[in-house]
Amino acid sequence: MKVSMLLVMLFAALIVPPFTDAAPRTKRAVPARHTVRFDPVVREKLVIAHIKQRLGSYGNAIVTDPRFAIDPAMFVRPLNQKPAVPRQRPRRYNYDYVFSLWSKEQGRRFLENNVIAFNYEEREFGVPREVIDGVLNIETQWGQSMGKRPVVTTLYTLAVMRPDLVQPGWSEKQLIAFLSIFEDSDTDLFSIKGSSTGAFGLPQFEPTSYPVLAVNCHSDDDDDPPDLFDNGDAICSIGKYLAHAGWGLSEASHRQALFAYNHDTFYVGAILDYADWLAGKSSEHPRYQLFHPKKTEGAARK
């Protein structure tokens, strides 16, 4: 009897739906992302004070320059405004243009015109010239696309309006580093243009990378600072950067070094494939092209 009662109860539990309230269950609220709260006016005063403290009279001359101002256009996207000319640079993660005939011709010409610098770089740092050529291709198309906004303006705006970019204080640190680079120079800082995050020069170095990794490829004189707008210095500086990041004999070390330069696996694969392609090597294990098998060699630059 007890066994039969247990079976009946078990059967009822399986076929009868559980009791539910008439009111629908409310969804659990998603917690808001943490954001840094700050007052832009206070933040601007702090940034200026830090520049004066770190750079003295030179810093005071910079912050009192009428061109030293925040650019609000950095955070405004024009509505229904189309570019005057077609985009020459692809969307992020799309590096198909690197394998176009135009790209290959430009890359070979750059190698031929800078043989001395490439020879020096390979002796000193051991990074194949085709790899460095690929970095310069993607970063700035060998100096043809280095940015449109003054680096000082970009970094100052980010330091005030985006103090938490990358990590807290990163933008301000880059700004002060950039100003320090040209402290003893006659260069007009406001004429130097760079990326949307303040990277500058042919290799698009962050300002904090310059004192450690930039190299003068033409002179051993310590008083002659590297010029990242010079082809030779850019070549050797990239070589030193990749060597410092672990470039060695293995494929893994190559990927590690390039990933340190740009945290994008497609970027890494595109450069390694491009280097093999430019050197005339047939890669048995393609990296970027494994995920982008479309044949792009016949593509023309638009």
pLDDT tens-digit series, residues 14-24: 444 444 444 44
**Cβ–Cβ under 8 Å, residues 175 and 168:** no
Question: 0.85 exceeded by the pTM?
Answer: no
193 beta partners: 150
**Cβ–Cβ under 8 Å, residues 175 and 134:** no
pLDDT at 101 over 50: yes
> Distance (Å, rounded) from C-alpha 268 to C-alpha 203?
15
pLDDT at 96 over 80: yes
| pLDDT attached to residue 172 | 95
Residues 132-190 pLDDT 10s: 999 999 999 999 999 999 999 999 999 999 888 888 899 999 999 999 999 988 899 99
Look at residues 251, 48, 268 and name the one whose alpha carbon lies nearest to residue 138: 268
DSSP 91: P
Residues 61-79 pLDDT 10s: 999 999 999 998 887 755 5
Instruction: Give the CA dihedral 88, 127, 258, 164, nearest 10 degrees.
Output: -90
